[in-house]
Amino acid sequence: MDPPGAACCYPSPRVRVVLYTGKGGVGKTTTAAATAACAAARGRRALVVSADPAHSLGDVFGERLGPSPRRVAASAARGRPLRLDACEIDARAEMERHWGAVRDWLVAIFRHQGIEGAVAEELALLPGAEEVAALLAVEAHARSGAYDLVVVDCAPTGATLRLLALPELARSAFRVALRLQQAVAAVVTPLARGLLAAPLPEAAVFRDADALFYRRLRALRRLVTGPATSVRLVVTPERMVIDEALRAHTDLALFEVPCDAVVVNRVLPDDAAREAFFRDWSRIQAERLAEVEAAFAPLPVLRAPLRDDEVIGLAALARHGAELFGRRDPTARLQCGSRLRFRHDAEGLRLELPLPHAEAGALHVAKRHDELWIAAGSLRRSLRLPRALARASLATAQLAAGTLVVRFEPGGA
């Protein structure tokens, strides 16, 4: 029997946000839908959202979905209607709404340079814009107060990592640039407007950009790193899939995005080894499962069996979710890991950042003014240091037992 629902070290938030990600084809969409269906069957108000551009959430429910939440559960549980909604985010439409005056100005600039209209509109969608729009929609649903649980079916791993890292990266990149542009434009624009044919930014451009890059991105950062949100990694018992999930776990930790469980899909039944055809497959799978349990410890590992048919429709999804979670609460934060912390000991001040599965040779640490820059593989994060460390010098940076330990010493940096 599964252990009871576990162990959250934070107060229960008013709404839980659970994001599912993993390599393409591992069963993220089914797992996300089954989680929401299980929660609804247990009396929660649940919403499941597809943030994957290649939407398949409607196919799993056997219903046609759009960008606005619609009820997919009409049957009853324990004498009351299930409260389960679903939607598929239209990132382009969301971006049109949030980008506003900034996008219109960029389109005008490109068209002034002779770029055809449709191409100009494509160029005005800056890299990462659609990912930001998807996350903005999730944040709005979480903030609405209409749900106890918001489950997100994310794009495959790489796109999800960009999605979750983007609020911090974008806010850092635009923090200085936008202020400089605004200060210069206040002086230059009135003079240049009568001299230049090119369209110049109006106040609305800076107003919309400021709203997006400051207020909204700050809200997104609070959402993805706060106690209400966690990521669950979905894998199958295959070498390449597990390796990608291990890298994703490291990248999530770099940005302090909490991961609270691993879901292993398509697990062969115990008696499969009795059949000669499945004997070697069962043995290899058992080794992979043991590896997942050890590598991701102390995260709980939830197992979903290989089905004899596709899991489609509300009833099948609710059964699948009930078997996946057992006595666990699908809305609970199933595990709480360590977070970034600053400490003082006999050797001085130090920063500790858990980075599970990281390799020392792939880490690079540098201090620039009052920021600490940490690069892990292709991702890079900047940390604003507290005042006590802003003027300190970087002494050492070492990876010890899955935790990056950075030591500082007094002095000018």
Task: Give the DSSP letter of residue 272.
Answer: G
Beta bridge partners of 371: 368, 384
Query: Topology of domain 1-336, per CATH?
Result: Rossmann fold (3.40.50)
In sequence order, what DSSP letters do the residues of 156-188 get, joined into one string?
PHHHHHHHHHHHHHHHHHHHHHHHHHHHHHHHH
d(CA 156, CA 27): 11
pLDDT tens track for 260-292: 999 999 999 888 777 888 888 899 999 999 999
Q: What is the DSSP letter of 360?
A: G
Per residue in 311-354, pLDDT tens?
Answer: 999 999 999 999 999 999 999 999 988 889 988 888 888 999 99
Higher pLDDT, 203 or 132: 132
**What ranges do the domains of the chain cover?**
1-336, 341-409
CA–CA gap between residue 139 and residue 122 (Å, rounded): 25
For 111-142, the pLDDT digits (tens) are 656 676 676 666 556 556 677 778 888 989 99
Distance (Å, whole) CA 406 – CA 275: 53
Nearest residue to 26 (alpha-carbon basis) of 234, 233, 231: 234
Q: Please give the pLDDT value at position 69.
A: 95
Report the predicted TM-score, pTM, of the whole model to 2 decimal places. Answer: 0.82
Q: Which amino acid type is present at position 291?
A: E
242: which residues sit within 8 A by CB, 6+ positions away?
A: 235, 288, 291, 292, 295
Domain 341-409 listed as CATH 2.60.40.790: yes
**Position with higher pLDDT, 307 vs 132:** 307
Q: Confidence band (pLDDT; 50, 70, 90) for 234?
A: very high
